[in-house]
Structure 1
Amino acid sequence: MDINKEIKETEQLFLELFPLYYHKFGAIFREDDGLPMRCTKNQKRAILLIAKGNDVTSSELGRCLDMRKGSLTSLLDSLEEMGLVRRRPDDHDRRRTLLYLTADGKDYFAKMMKRHENMFTEIISTLSPEDIKRIRHGLRDVVDGLKKI
């Protein structure tokens, strides 16, 4: 197969992957999570990205969430008002603003991830051990490949 066909097939697989992921697992971010604090799906995604990142800036978060600056500012303002996120200027570059989870934010994240783990396990456990292994290896290859870009 020539490289252009491989690239096109890769593109098509990504376009197939995203809707499947959101269809099967997106409910984790949409549904009522049973926590006293109600977060929107974008707030939950922001919390996830901030928790999983190191020294996440508001610009990086905006790119990851595909949000414009005004919408992102409103999102971060709401998370700060809820006491889940804190903004702090970077000690090394005052132009950068770093985002951190507060203690309440870390607690919310831990509860959100426990719920994610339970739902993910319930869904994935319907597959055979061999299917799970293939998916895990395939996803590892995808993640490793994307890190190289």
Structure 2
Amino acid sequence: MQRGLAERGLTQTRAQVLWVLGGAERMTQAELAAELKVTPRNVTTLIDALEETGFVRRTAHPTDRRAAVIVLSAKGQKSFARLQSETTEFAKLLFGNLSERDLKTFQGILHDVGTKLTELAKETGGR
């Protein structure tokens, strides 16, 4: 995965930004920082790099002169579409032979494990 991303000029973190923006279409840097659970400074650095390489654009916020709205450029949209397609193909490769019933069971188990991990993280303070 890292090799494939690197060939496109992306890191895992930058690809994650594209993934989040692709699902939301547009976000402020503050919203993006909250979604990624990183500091606003980290997002600024990420957006600077993604803007410099042509994946995103900063646009004016319609009501807040201090905020910028981040959107995918045409290159970013194309990369997001490719990420979606590759993720779908990989999921088909992994789970394509499962019956609908088995897939629902698996999803339920994943949900339960995720819930338990979240609870444990809260109890231990994220350690």
TM-score by length of 2: 0.75
Q: Distance in 1 between matches of 2:77 and 2:6?
A: 13
Distance 2:101 2:37 in 1: 35
SS in 1 for 2:3: coil
| Aligned sequence identity (%) | 25
1:33-112 mapped onto 2 (5 Å cutoff): 33=4, 36-112=7-83
Write the distance in 2 (CA, Å) between the matches of 1:82 and 1:66. Answer: 23
Task: Note the C-alpha offset of 1:130.
Answer: 0.6
Point out 4+ residue stretches in structure 1 off by more than 6 angstroms.
137-140
Q: TM-score, normalised by structure 1?
A: 0.65
Residue ranges of structure 1 left out of the alignment (5+ in a row): 1-29, 143-149
**CA RMSD, 1 decimal:** 2.5
Offset of residue 66 of structure 1: 1.3
Q: Secondary structure at the match of 1:32?
A: helix
What is the aligned residue count? 112
| Compared CA separation, residues 60 and 34, structure 1 to 2 (3 A) | closer
Unmatched runs of 5 consecutive residues or more in structure 2: 115-127
Contact 2:58 2:69 in 1 (8 A): yes
